[in-house]
Structure 1
Amino acid sequence: MQYLNDIKSLNLEELKVELKAEFKDIFAFRAEQIYSWLHEQNVESFDEMTNLSKELRENLKLKYEIRNCEIEQKLESQLDETKKYLFKLNDGEFIESVLMKYKYGYTVCISTQVGCSMKCTFCASTIDGCKRNLTPSEMLSQVYKIEKDNENIKVSRVVLMGMGEPLDNFDNVLKFIELITDKKGKNLSNRNVTISTCGIVPKIYELIKLNPQFTLSISLHAPNDEIRNKLMPVNKKWNVDELLKACKEYTKATNKRISFEYVLIDTVNDDPEHAKELARKLKNILCYVNLIPVNEVTENNYIRSTDQKIQNFKKILDDAGITTTVRRTLGKDIEASCGQLRRTR
């Protein structure tokens, strides 16, 4: 399928250059108007840009497309206020995103790929593999569509923890962050954007050079290679020590704390000795740990650790001086929790 140029993936300066090249007599302020329509007012068609002439709108249609996510299905949790969206993309592929409500405001968990190729054994997103990367505009559209569908709420935090490995879609993810934090667009604070990665070590070193202001979260899930190799095949390429070395370099260079995610699976990685080993590995890294009781995925037989085991694990880390929280499970009844999103239903 042949697509027109993806206008929503352009930053303002790129848009100015594009429009000047395509339409010789266009004024620069027109680019700012179009950019505002796309990123502040969340329009989904050129016809909605009512302060542009009809002629210009028609010409834009010939050169560009506005890539949008269409809501195929929306599920609302009966346990909390979480909403899960199944989105259909322009090419017919599907992705899932989640809206969560907290005391401080709204958080959207977005996908960065159609599926995932990392093969983490506890995660549904990887079951059907990875079809393709998402464009910056497709990532933006998940946020914009959810805002519009909920009476134009303002999302205060975005986490790239849905389907896909963000650092496997490196350039598009960075462009998405540039666009969503642009003061002339959505103007979301960098501090309110979190990227979660399974540990693609070379890309972490690339991030160091960029001195990012967003939060980096590492899906660790095991204190040693023996366990992590079984849970996360990526560990066979970059092992625990290599990953933690990169994380330590990252915190030194950026002076920003890293979040380590650790899914707790009964009898697999939740023993007190595992907690002690994890504490030793993390003791000299500027970080905190987010414990996640594993969520049910039909295709595997993993069982959630007991509440007692979870609290014991947390106490060991706390006593070692490592700030530790237990993630509250949201959207459990609609399979909207961590590790449950997938590209097919």
Structure 2
Amino acid sequence: MPVKPHHPDAEAAADVPPHVIRQVLQLVASRGHSPERLCKGLGFTPENLCDADFRVSYRQTSLLVRRAMQQWGDPAIGLATGARQTVVCFGLPGLGMLTCATLGEAFQYLIKYQRAAGALTINEMSVLDEHHFVTEVSTRFHDPELEPFFIEEIFVSGVEVSRAMVGSHFRPARLELRYPRPDYAAAYSEYFRCPVVFNAPLNRLICDIAWYHCPLPTHDRYMQGSLQAQIDQLLETETPRNDLVESIMNELRGSVDEVPGLAQVGAALNLSERTLRRRLAELDTSYQRLVDQVRYEAALDLLKRSDMPLVDIAMATGFTDARNFRRAFKRWSGMLPNQIRQGAPAPRLR
């Protein structure tokens, strides 16, 4: 399966839950390395990864993985990362998998929402012949140095989740990989327990068809339809974001009451003020626009979830008095703060 061509900004699209990053950070932390240091300059902190709505880009993930590979010192880090994944690590798609009737149905559901599950690869599953089914994987971007990491991670995580769902006796029939045999190839036997072929035409995991039809003990036909419908609705409403914009907003959310200057935010992201301003202009936005967005979000949250007086909300969102806050809120939304408190739906930032 060839790597698909992509828009130059595609690697910067913050559209993937940070499931892989979470496992990588836990892995390096287990050897005494600092997760905070690995994240420095990437536009997020380990604490951001606890936010269910937080998303990362391929660019951010690949930079962190390269740092982790240097600190970890073990080239088999992709295998070790995949082995840490559980069905819960896939988020809502993982929950949907548990409602499915068979293992094959569960993985078809996961593949349907692979981006929402944090996949940094392109995954397809099909019946190969009357005896086997196959999962074929390719990288989203041309990155030969990191291809083994991402391929190992996705295949090992799939095998580990399969064993958790149908039993530890699950084993593939054969694993085929496009890249050359690495020095640590012996480790593959530990994880996959099947023959491994390197320098193959495609990245494929081939399994006996009996596993595809293997029933899942967690299946509930009464809950499957309604629960999957709710999950479908949540996952289909997601929109892609840019990693630079998300990184700046993360910085701003930590200091809404005293917004840092553009130069200060740029320093945190290892970018000059001039470069940051130019890149925001290329994205058809501005620093002030992002400041307004973060302040508006914070104001809406306080108006809806607290009984704080307007003067206190004004101070909490970086204003000196309630009058200036009202003016800004009117400019942002076309409404007054009290209208939100009275239950009016909040519009998007104007």
Structure-1-length-normalised TM-score: 0.25
Richer in strand (by share): 1
Richer in helix (by share): 2
Structure-2-length-normalised TM-score: 0.25
